[in-house]
């Protein structure tokens, strides 16, 4: 019924606005969110401000660094290559990257591609972070090659034997990016461009390389490095990771389109899609942030309060947090981008994460026939 559809759309829009406002009420500078209903309706909401100086509103189509959501793109390429028969998920790292994972108990002969995808490799992450405003200004344009990033990790002993535990590993996805290049002869981001971005028409998704700037429109993002200190605009930077563990820039519209296509079966053959959805529990350190989450291959499954579960990924990088959730059939999805997440304490981070999770859950929990009707923008 048209009236019921209009009422459902209004309810969805109002809830999205309330949930976005609840996030900025926690001190986050700005929020933009976009919900795509099962009928293809585009509903957007924003809250807060994009710039502390001008006080301009947050753009609803703004660019942002998607950080670890990049991992889902990389995993999709790896699984496509597996579907093409160009590699196997049971191949060892050593087969494709001889001698790269070695030393201090690290052994590429004992680690498989599947374990890299699912964070069960045991490889220790050695990722620095900006410790102060001075440190940020000194190092925000620094760049690191994949080999340099992996070499830092090799200075440490593994966190556990491969396959024996779970621990989120950025370095594992750097290695996956290196494997993509070894198999195809092209950098990982070119394969993402050719296999995903261009076919889906993701015209606002790209790898910026060493450019520290974001295109317009975008919100500025901020950090406070020590309690009581002034906020620092950290928008202009190369980023600590852009080698496959992170690195892409996108928009809420493009991320919704990508995840809907992925879960809708348009990017992977059924066999590889089934492998992506084979999940294991996340580690104890992640469980409080993502209650009930299970890790697949480049995607997480999380329970919905209304029953069932959804798929998605989150990312965080220097004041940014982004999260995507999509229903199991790929028809309904939501993407939210936060700018100016101050992360002043573990408790504050937890409350922000809970508010983000509520926005995603509220957006995806809807009666199956709600939202049918004409597409709106």
pLDDT tens, position by position, 46-65: 999 999 999 999 999 999 99
Burial of 307 (0-12, 13-18, 19+ CB in 10 A): exposed
In a domain, 375, yes or no: no
pLDDT of amino acid 343: 75
57-111 per-position pLDDT tens digit? 999 999 999 999 999 999 999 999 999 999 999 999 999 999 999 999 999 999 9
Tokens 């982004």, located at residue? 322
User: Above 60 in pLDDT, residue 116?
Assistant: yes
CB half-sphere exposure, 182, CA atoms < 13 A: 16
Mean pLDDT of 104-133: 94
172 domain residue, yes or no: yes
Asked which of 34-38, 41-45, 362-366 is least confident by mean pLDDT, the reply is 362-366
Residue 116 lies in a domain: yes
What residue numbers bound the domain in which 241 lies?
Answer: 2-364
Q: Check residue 366 and give its pLDDT.
A: 67
Q: How many structural domains does the chain have?
A: 1
The stretch 255-280 carries a mean pLDDT of 98
Q: Is residue 373 part of a domain?
A: no
Residue indicated by tokens 């200075």: 155
Q: Is the pTM here over 0.85, yes or no? A: yes
Residue 332 has pLDDT above 70, yes or no: yes
Residue 5's pLDDT band, with cuts at 50, 70 and 90, is low
Predicted confidence (pLDDT) at residue 243 exceeds the cutoff of 80 = yes
| CB-neighbour burial class of residue 367 (10 A; exposed 0-12, middle 13-18, buried 19+) | exposed
Q: CA–CA separation, 36 vs 292, rounded Å?
A: 24
At residue 10 the predicted structure's pLDDT band, cuts being 50, 70 and 90, is confident
Would strands 30-36 and 333-339 be described as parallel, antiparallel, or unpaired? Answer: antiparallel
Report pLDDT for 345. Answer: 81
Q: Tens of pLDDT along 354-365?
A: 999 999 999 999
Report the percentage of the chain scoring pLDDT > 90.
82
Is the CB of residue 21 less than 8 Å from the CB of residue 357? no
Position 294 in a domain? yes
Task: Report which of residues 8 and 179 the model is more confident about.
Answer: 179
Higher-confidence residue of 318 and 2: namely 318
Answer whether 109's CB lies under 8 Å from 96's CB: no
371 found inside a domain? no
pLDDT tens for 292-316 read 999 999 999 999 999 999 999 999 9
Q: Residue 357 belongs to a domain with what CATH number?
A: 3.40.710.10
370 located within any domain: no
Instruction: Give the closest residue to 359 by CA, choosing from 68, 33, 65.
Output: 33
* Residues contacting 165, CB < 8 A, separation 6+: 120, 122, 159, 283
Q: Is residue 140, in this structure, part of any structural domain at all?
A: yes
pLDDT of residue 79: 98
Which pLDDT belongs to residue 311? 98
């Amino acid at each position: 019924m048209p009236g019921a559809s209009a009422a459902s759309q209004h309810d969805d829009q109002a809830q999205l606005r309330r949930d976005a406002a609840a996030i900025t009420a926690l001190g986050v500078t700005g929020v933009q969110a976009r919900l795509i209903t099962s009928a293809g309706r585009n509903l957007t909401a924003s809250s807060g401000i994009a710039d502390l100086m001008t006080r301009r509103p947050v753009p609803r189509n703004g660019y942002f660094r998607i950080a670890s959501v990049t991992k889902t793109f990389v995993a999709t390429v790896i699984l496509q290559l597996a579907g093409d028969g160009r590699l196997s998920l049971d191949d060892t790292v050593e087969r494709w990257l001889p001698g790269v994972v070695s030393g201090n108990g690290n052994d590429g002969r004992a680690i498989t591609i599947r374990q890299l995808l699912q964070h069960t490799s045991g490889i220790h992450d050695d990722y620095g972070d900006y410790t102060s405003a001075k440190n940020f200004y000194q190092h925000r344009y620094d760049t690191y090659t994949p080999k340099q990033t992996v070499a830092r990790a090799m200075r440490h002993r593994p966190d556990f034997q491969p396959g024996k535990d779970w621990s989120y590993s950025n370095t594992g996805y750097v290695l996956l990016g290196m494997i993509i290049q070894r198999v195809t002869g092209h950098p990982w981001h070119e394969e993402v461009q050719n296999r995903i971005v261009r076919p889906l028409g993701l015209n606002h998704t790209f790898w910026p390389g060493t450019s520290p700037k974001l295109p317009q429109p975008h919100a500025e993002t901020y950090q406070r490095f020590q309690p009581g200190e002034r906020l620092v605009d950290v928008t202009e930077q190369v980023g600590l990771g852009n080698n496959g563990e992170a690195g892409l820039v996108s928009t809420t519209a493009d991320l919704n389109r990508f995840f809907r296509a992925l879960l809708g079966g348009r990017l992977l053959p059924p066999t590889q899609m089934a492998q992506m959805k084979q999940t294991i529990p996340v580690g104890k350190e992640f469980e409080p942030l993502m209650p009930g989450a299970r890790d697949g291959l480049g995607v997480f499954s999380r329970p919905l309060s209304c029953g069932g579960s959804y798929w998605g990924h989150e990312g965080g990088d220097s004041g940014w947090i982004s999260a995507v959730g999509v229903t199991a059939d790929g028809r309904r999805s939501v993407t939210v981008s936060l700018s100016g997440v101050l992360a002043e304490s573990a408790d504050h981070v937890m409350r922000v994460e809970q508010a983000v999770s509520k926005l995603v859950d509220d957006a995806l929990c809807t009666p199956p026939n709600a939202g049918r009707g004409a597409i709106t923008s």
